[in-house]
Amino acid sequence: MNGNVRRIRSIAGILTVLSLFMPCALMHSHAQAPEPEAPASEAKPCAPSTFQWGAGLLSLRMNHYRGSDQYKNYFIPSPYFKYKSENLEAETSYVRGTLYKNDYLIVKLSFMIGFSVESGENRAREGMPDLGYLFETGPMLIVKLWESPGRGHLLTFESPVRYVFATDFTGVEPVGVLTIPYLNITSFPQKYTLGWKSEFSVALMFGSRSYHDYFYTVPAKYARPGRPEYEARGGYSGVQFAWILERRVGPIQLIPFFRWDYLGRAAFEESPLVKTKHYFAIGLGSFYLF
């Protein structure tokens, strides 16, 4: 790979890291804040758009990929931006446009990005092709299930279905389909939470055969002692738990997060590339807002 492509990969790597601290991809849990109800005799006004931007530091520790027993630490100067209007949400890690909305149901079009893995840095994948940067896009259904009196807590069912593509910036390869239906509970800032907003989600993950094949199949030409030939199949991809906190203190925005995936009984569990059934991502984003 030439030097220009490597520089592009390095720049893109910084951007894809950001997808893991504001995910709710990684975390998949951005519920919309409730809006005050308008009187019955009045038309409900459109919510004003908001925009925040800044810069700071992202610290992160995570497995190379789901199933890898190797970890990597990141300490990365990172930009921050957040835009929200009546029909569009955008952050460093994702973009969502509303296609349909009523009081209980929202249909959105979402876009996310994900990490690459260089096989030369991973023992299990040594000698195999690198895993490229992932670009995911597709519809997302959000159903409001429950809201507490005073609107301090919100429970939603959210189900993104994303078509996944991989790239090394020399070409684009279709990977497959990933869906992650999850329950998400959002607790908005209260006095007893000391101003923290929190989101906790529990998800089941499912991938198409080609999606699992991209990560976990071992073709015959890459088989070796300790890494036998293996063909992945589609289906259940594991369970995911994610917790993200958020608080602004003056101009400082703090976003600690934690994610754990368990791959027991996943369709690819027997792949020689699965060295552990546990996947962790933990980190802290701290940003100064201008």
Domain ranges of the chain: 3-32+50-289
Q: Is the pLDDT of residue 157 over 60?
A: yes
Q: Is the pLDDT of residue 201 over 60?
A: yes
107, two tokens: 């249909």
pLDDT in tens, 250-280: 999 999 999 999 999 999 999 999 999 999 9
Query: pLDDT-derived band of residue 47, with 50, 70 and 90 as boundaries?
Result: low
**113: helix, strand or coil:** strand
Flag the least confident range among 38-47, 116-125, 246-255: 38-47
Residue with tokens 């296609």: 99
Report pLDDT for 195: 93
- Is residue 62 within 8 A of residue 70, CB to CB? The reply is no
Q: Could you confirm whether domain 3-32+50-289 is CATH 2.40.128?
A: yes
Report pLDDT for 204: 98
Q: How far apart are CA 96 and CA 112, in angstroms?
A: 9
Q: What's the mean pLDDT in 171-182?
A: 96
Report pLDDT for 63: 97
Q: How far apart are CA 121 and CA 70, in angstroms?
A: 9
**Among 153, 162, 157, residue whose Cα is nearest residue 141:** 157
Q: How far apart are CA 161 and CA 178, in angstroms?
A: 6
**Among 290, 25, 7, residue whose Cα is nearest residue 182:** 25
136, two tokens: 């995911």
* Average pLDDT of the residues of the chain: 84
Q: What's the mean pLDDT in 237-241?
A: 98
* AA letter at 187: S
- Is residue 113 within 8 A of residue 19, CB to CB? The reply is yes
117, two tokens: 């893995």
pLDDT in tens, 59-99: 999 999 999 999 988 888 888 888 888 778 777 656 777 87
pTM: 0.81
Q: What's the mean pLDDT in 162-167?
A: 96
257, two tokens: 């997060």
% the chain with pLDDT above 70: 82
